[in-house]
Structure 1
Amino acid sequence: MKLRFLFSTLSVLLVIGLIHWYLGWNGWEYLRIVFGLENPAVYSIVIALLALSYILGRLGQSVAGLRSVAKPVKLVGSYWFAVMEYGLLLFPIADLLVWLLTLASVPYSQAVTLVGTVTLVTLAAILIRGSWNAWTPIVRSYNVTISKAAGSYKSLRIGMASDIHLGTIVGNRHLEKLVAEMERMKPDLILIPGDVIDDDIDPFIRYGMANVMKKLKAPLGVYAVLGNHEYYGGHIDRFVAEMKAIDIPVLMDETVLVDNSFYVIGRKDLTAARSDADGRQSIAELIAPLDTSLPLILMDHQPSDLEQAAANGIDISLSGHTHRGQMAPNHLVTRRMFELDWGYLRKGGLHAIVSSGFGSWGPPIRIGSRSEVIQIDVRFE
């Protein structure tokens, strides 16, 4: 097992090293030709630091004396992830174009200058637009009808925000935008299906994010569930206590009968199956003691169990996790991984909704997806 781990680690490091060599070589060719640079030593150090910046930032944020430096270093490293991905997509095309231009008798220096400048502008445009998509949330609305009575309620408006990822990158400023959108929406009920924090709970506490979270108000309450990142952080009990203190219950394989009219069901994340000593309950186990003649609204962070949700009479299933790939063309991967990786699906009597999320993981960049808040208007018949 140790040899396998060592081999896997070395293989990953080799791949990362080759990627940075390729990206770095392309960048150096452009700088050498356009600006006449001759010694790549400083440039090589900069590329090496960029390659390590996210890791250094993550390590530094847990050391009290380094936090002020670690935060911007981690942010730079996060953006570097996006540069890596889109560099790997753009640079091979650029290299091919340079080669074709040289075949057409265009001098190499001119070809590199022309193609390199266009590539650089394209990459900058992707990062700028992607950053705007990440920091400018929109509201997506869905209308669903449930063929059940819900006490005296004929309709219900649910506000939903998944994958907020509060931490050193997504913080109070972005969270205030969520509060403002919910105040405009005026939902009867607010649901948060997981990944409220981005692994480490320390920034949530240090920057007083609970003081902003507690501004989320709805007449029928605010409820959350755990996502995989809460489990990665390893401070479940502390996180649940912090949320409870601001009147946001975190449902861990628990159900709540709201106003004797409908149920909110909160599952532990799929990660609990291997990292929680108690595991997690199946949907069938969760609903066994419930009056299933009432509407059943399920929060399950990962949309991996829609078949069972439909088979067990769940009326609305709310999930996140996928970020819709966050940066295209990653959505082609999430689309293969999940029956529904984003949007709405009717599956028998089930209305399944998967959000691309309100925050972001890694780079605060979204291409082919948006930071979003979900409004669900439910009609009971």
Structure 2
Amino acid sequence: MLAFIFAPFYILVNLYLVRWVLRWTGACHKVFGSKTFRVIFISIYVFASLTPLTSFVIHSPAWLHRLLEQISNYWFGWLAYLILAVLLTEAVLFAVRRLRGKDFAEMQRVRQVQGGIALALLCVVSFYGMAHAERLYITDYTVEIDKPGEDMTVALLADLHLGYSTDPDYIEEVAQAVNEMRPDLVVLAGDIFDNEYEAVPEPEAVKALLKNMHSTYGTYACWGNHDLKEPILAGFTWSTKDENKNDPRMERFLTEAGITLLADQTETLPNGVQLAGRKDPARAKKVGEARRTPEELLGTLDQSAPIFVIDHQPKELAELAAAGADLDLSGHTHDGQVFPGNLIIKLMWRNACGYLNVNGMHSVVTSGVGVWGPAMRVGTKSEVARIHVRFTG
């Protein structure tokens, strides 16, 4: 329903952007003011701007559906930066008018320069963001826990978002990076899927790659808010109340990939570490499941032994600390993924990304392996977090 509410606004914004680009290009050269150029540009623009809708309604053939989904994901990133570029240019032009009182001819020259810079930045930033999203980084953290135990290394992954923006070769790179760490424990902190199991590229191959991640104690995961079956239209969920959003293929995928799912469950590792995996609050609500509180989940554990928690959203940090957690492993935020989201996200979360000590509990939030929505990263990075845990008790 929200998609339809925002549809008129989306149409008006795109009409303004088309008019703005054509006015700028027409001011640069007469060729760009020709009817032929305008028809070609408008046709391409309309096709791209409609892909959020066409990818939603066209499901056959499969290759066309996938292509439309991929274009739609890139489109949202380009659209966001086109809007920013136009707003910046218009702000500068407004300031020139107010301060200098330029006449029309001079304003046309200013518009040519400003518009050229704006569109050049749009292309540079967007292409950079597309390429940068596929570059994998390793981020190191060291935490000290005042409890007895053997030092260990934890590989933290989150937000794979296996779907239309996923390349199996990239997943292979992720698996290789994890294996090079020689971790004792591998953790997947939710959003393994991207709302649609059918979107997973070459699921058997991806499954085998994830199964090939080696560690001393195995791979454990919790669900995220996107780990369910739920149609998405232009970024908005689209479903009916009586629809079953649980997709058994997702859990079966994890099992066959050698990944142990902890859904409000705990398990004690051979080294004595007690590992708890939480249900995601958004997912639990949509599938009609109850969710245990931190006290209910951790209250029966041995508080003198180390307690690690996998929780997709870093929402209840203080509550987990009070319940006895020593290390909380999360994702979800993507660190904002694209500028200026990386600045805004810090206003929304106590620990938006990175490390934070919360009342003695270590909180590590990773920016994630994959992307959601715009298949870009600007101002953030795709990463696997390597956490060196030192026990000092």
Structure 1 length as normaliser, TM-score? 0.91
Displacement of 1:30 after TM fit?
2.3
**Any gaps of 5 or more consecutive residues in structure 2?**
231-244
What SS is found at the alignment partner of 1:362? coil
Counterpart for residue 92 of structure 2? 97
Displacement of 1:32 after TM fit?
2.4
Counterpart for residue 195 of structure 2? 199
* Aligned-partner Cα distance in 2 for 1:156–1:304: 26
* Aligned-partner Cα distance in 2 for 1:232–1:193: 18
Counterpart for residue 66 of structure 1? 61
What SS is found at the alignment partner of 1:228? coil
Amino acid at match of 2:154: I
* Aligned-partner Cα distance in 2 for 1:36–1:124: 18
* Aligned-partner Cα distance in 1 for 2:173–2:268: 30
Counterpart for residue 360 of structure 2? 349
* Aligned-partner Cα distance in 1 for 2:318–2:173: 34
Residue 175 and residue 114 in structure 1: after superposition, are their counterparts in 2 closer, same or farther (change >3 A)?
A: same
**Cα offsets for 1:184-232 (capped at 9, x unmatched):** 1111110000011111111337442212211112111001111000135
* Aligned-partner Cα distance in 2 for 1:205–1:362: 17
**Equivalent pair of 1:231/1:271 in contact (CA under 8 Å):** no
**Aligned partner of 1:256 among 241, 264, 267:** 267
What SS is found at the alignment partner of 1:51? helix
Task: List 4+ stretches of structure 1 deviating above 4 A.
Answer: none
* Aligned-partner Cα distance in 2 for 1:42–1:307: 56
Displacement of 1:334 after TM fit?
2.0
- Map 1:206-355 → 2, pairs under 5 A: 206-208=202-204, 209-233=206-230, 234-259=245-270, 261-355=272-366
Q: Is 1:133 paired with 2:132?
A: yes
**Equivalent pair of 2:168/2:201 in contact (CA under 8 Å):** no
- Map 1:23-42 → 2, pairs under 5 A: 23-33=17-27, 34=29, 35-39=31-35, 40-42=38-40
What SS is found at the alignment partner of 1:271? helix
Displacement of 1:9 after TM fit?
5.0
Structure 2 length as normaliser, TM-score? 0.88
User: What is the Cα-based RMSD across aligned positions, in Å?
Assistant: 2.0
Displacement of 1:120 after TM fit?
1.3
* Aligned-partner Cα distance in 2 for 1:227–1:160: 14
Among all aligned residue pairs of Structure 1 and Structure 2, give the percentage whose two residues are the same amino acid: 26
Residue 118 and residue 159 in structure 1: after superposition, are their counterparts in 2 closer, same or farther (change >3 A)?
A: same
**Equivalent pair of 1:272/1:279 in contact (CA under 8 Å):** no
* Aligned-partner Cα distance in 2 for 1:180–1:341: 27
**Equivalent pair of 1:135/1:364 in contact (CA under 8 Å):** no
**Aligned partner of 2:75 among 49, 56, 80:** 80
Amino acid at match of 2:348: M
How many residues are aligned here? 369
Q: Is 1:120 paired with 2:115?
A: no
**Equivalent pair of 1:326/1:366 in contact (CA under 8 Å):** yes
